[in-house]
A and B are shown apart, each in its own frame.
Chain A
Amino acid sequence: MSFEDWRRIDVDQYDPENVYVEDELPDTRPNTSLQDIQSLTQTLRSSIQRMDIVNALKTAIENAPYGASEEVKDAFLHSVYEVFVSVKLSDINNFIGQFDIDSIDAIVKFVYVLMSKEWALKQSSTLIVWLDRIVETVGDGPIVRYLSDPYKL
């Protein structure tokens, strides 16, 4: 073996401590059930009818089921998706101004996760506009924080 191959040696294969145990995250909701999400969806829908988008998103951010099963997460994303696409594009700027930086980070996270779902592609242009306006007003920080966020959906 030539010396250039040095990096290809798997130095970890005989290491007994070669396991990375992630820290437990506080504030996750692994026990969220589908019923919980259904009632959340009802709340969000009534907010949408009142055109109270800011509160709808705030409720969604508070109840995001981090650490729950894929099924529950997916149901949650569906209802968040309804909130995002119910907005008139021209109003998005007004809404963004009413969130603090932590909420903005969460919104960017929702947008990114939704853009990765096939069923959300129909109106992905709306999602892109959300992201675009946020980056315009807040900068690149929320995107970086989405990438390094341990709370996944």
Chain B
Amino acid sequence: MSITFNLSKNPIYDHCFTSDRTHVAITQGKDVLIYNLQNPSKPQLLTTLKHHDKPITAVDISIDGKIVTCSQDRNALVWTLQPNGEYKETLVLLRINRAATCAKWSPNGKKFAVGSSARVISVCYFEEENDWWISKHIKRPIKSTILSLDWHENNVLLASGSTDGHLRVFSTFIKGVDAKPNPSIWGERLPFQTLCLDVNLSSWIQDVKFSPDYQFVAGVGHDSSLFVVYPGSGELEVSKLDKIKTSNLPFTSVIFANNSKLICAGYDCHPIVFEGNASQGWKHTYSIDDPTKKKVNVVENQSARNMFRQMDLKGSTEQKSNTLLTIHQNTITQLKPFQYDNNGLIRFSSSGNDGKVVIFDV
């Protein structure tokens, strides 16, 4: 089962649902559009957030409804809903000289992190006195663009994936903002910028996620592989690294359904499910919206003109449709969890370069 929303003709780089699942924010070039989806057959455009002057690369909504957007114009903005129903933006001092690539709220909504091509992660928090968001930089040992970020539930640990091929976990502990985190498998003393995990996977890490129990991380690489990394007890020790090579095109996004199941999607335009655990390793088990299980599209236009056009364009007389067999007609850019029950994730949403947002059942 799936529900499709055709929201645009242009690519959607990122999307995010509100916590009550009724509204969705999508990126559209330099703007963010917010739709009311309470009537699924008729998405209703509520607001357009306009301020950035280069394409927006990421959007995220915090648990208390604040929206953060970041853009190639090197800025991030925090949008808060005013009593009159409008959104007011607050500037964030990111202090970067390159495009911002990804932004994520911490689970409690008090901090957010912005990754950028400036080889830094800006960890941002609110400064009451000046009424703006300021940032602290995590610099070392990042060597290249940050492509993805994910928060630990303790609001301190942050996983990041980078084009230097490293998957890293940092501490973002900020005095006065964070409570001291409990010791975990990731470390005991965690001052700001402590490196808790660093593995070289030698391919761009497009997305990274903590497992639901926060005991290990998964990442997807630009070499069509899935990586599952289990930290060891020693400092920066990796107890197990699973690399699962696939026959697919590269993945751009990964989410966990539960501790033994995760979902990837990317340039193959449909979600793919992996299942496994630490002892047995991880395996591809099934695909959602699987094109191999669907019939080839019926040919719409069997005219002579079409036949010659086919021969001219593709060198074959075989009639083929121009649409893909999957719901998404272009790369899936982002997966987000949508709805949970007691056993874990039951629905998730995806956005694509085809301008669609789709809600799938796991």
C-alpha spacing A148/B222, complex, angstroms:
7
Q: How far is the CA of A145 from the CA of B224 in the complex (A)?
A: 7
* Residues A23 and B165 in contact in the complex (CB < 8 Å), given A145-B223, A149-B223: yes
| Chain B residues, CB < 8 A from A3 | 53
Contact B143 A20 (CB under 8 A): yes
In the complex, what residues of A have CB within 8 A of residue B225's CB? 145
Which B residue sits closest to A138, measured CB to CB?
B247
> A23-B164, A148-B223 known; A11 and B98 CB under 8 Å?
yes
Do residues B249 and A140 form an inter-chain contact, with CB atoms below 8 A? Answer: yes
Interface pair B248/A139, CB less than 8 Å apart: yes
Would you give the shortest CB distance from A103 to chain B, in whole angstroms?
12
Considering only residues 226-254 of chain B, those with a C-beta below 8 Å from chain A are 245-250
Q: Which of A6, A25, A142, A148 gathers most chain B CB within 10 Å?
A: A148
Q: Mark A98-124, 1 if CB is under 8 A from B, else 0.
A: 000110010000000000000000000
Tell whether, in the assembled complex, residue B143 and residue A141 are in contact, meaning their CB atoms are under 8 Å apart: no
Cα–Cα, bound, A104→B143 (Å): 31
Q: Given A148-B203, A148-B223: A105 and B245 within 8 A (CB)?
A: yes
Would you call B17 an interface residue if the criterion is a C-beta within 8 Å of the partner chain's C-beta atoms?
Answer: no
Contacts of B339 on A, CB cut-off 8 Å? none
Mask: chain B, 244-278; 1 = CB below 8 Å from A; 0 = not: 01111110000000000000000000000000000
CA distance A38 to B54 in the complex (A): 57
Indicate if B10 sits at the interface (CB-CB under 8 A).
Answer: no
| A23→B204 contact, CB < 8 A | no
- Report how far A130 CA is from B273 CA in the complex, Å: 30
Min Cβ gap A10→B in Å is 11
A97 within 8 A of B: no
What's the nearest-Cβ distance from chain B to residue A7, in Å?
Answer: 9
CB distance from A143 to the nearest CB of B (A): 9
Q: Enumerate chain B residues within 8 angstroms of A15, measured Cβ to Cβ.
A: 97
Residue from A23, A142, A145, A147 with most neighbouring chain B CB atoms (10 Å): A145
Contact assessment for A23 and B248 in the assembled complex, using a CB-CB cutoff below 8 Å: no
The docked-state distance in angstroms from the alpha carbon of A3 to that of B30 is 15
User: Which residues of A are found within 8 Å of B53, using beta-carbon distances?
Assistant: 3
A140 to B249: give the CA distance in the assembly, Å: 6
The docked-state distance in angstroms from the alpha carbon of A140 to that of B203 is: 17
**A141 with B202: CB separation less than 8 A:** no
> Distance (Å) between the CB of B103 and the closest chain A CB?
21
B108 within 8 A of A: no
Q: Which residue of B lies closest to A140 (CB)?
A: B249
Tell whether A1 is near chain B: CB-to-CB under 8 Å. Answer: no
Specify which chain B residues have a CB less than 8 angstroms from the CB of A30 in the assembled complex.
Answer: none
User: Which residues of chain A (27-54) have a CB below 8 Å from chain B?
Assistant: none
**Quick check: B250 and A144 within 8 Å, CB to CB?**
yes
CA distance A149 to B224 in the complex (A): 11
Contacts A23-B164, A101-B245 given; does A148 touch B144 at CB 8 Å: no
| Contact A21 B143, CB 8 Å, known A105-B245, A139-B248, A140-B247 | yes
Q: Is B8 an interface residue (CB 8 A)?
A: no
Q: Is residue B200 within 8 Å, beta carbon to beta carbon, of the partner chain?
A: yes
Closest to A3 in B: B53
Question: 1/0 per residue A69-105: CB within 8 Å of B?
Answer: 0000000000000000000000000000000011001
A138 to B247, CA, bound (A): 6
Contact partner, B245, options A6, A20, A145, A147, Cβ 8 Å: A145
Q: A23-B164, A148-B222 are in contact. Are A141 and B97 (CB under 8 A)?
A: no
Q: Which among B54, B202, B224 is the interface contact of A23 at CB below 8 angstroms?
A: B202
- 13 further A-B pairs in the complex, CB-CB below 8 A; given A15-B97, A105-B245, A150-B202: A3-B53, A21-B143, A102-B245, A139-B248, A140-B249, A141-B246, A141-B247, A144-B223, A144-B250, A147-B223, A148-B203, A148-B221, A148-B222
A-B contacts, 21 of them at CB < 8 A, read A6-B54, A11-B98, A17-B119, A20-B144, A23-B164, A25-B202, A102-B245, A105-B245, A139-B246, A139-B248, A140-B248, A140-B249, A141-B224, A141-B245, A144-B222, A144-B249, A145-B223, A145-B224, A148-B222, A148-B223, A150-B202
* B→A interface (CB under 8 Å): 53-54, 97-98, 119, 143-144, 164-165, 200, 202-204, 221-225, 245-250
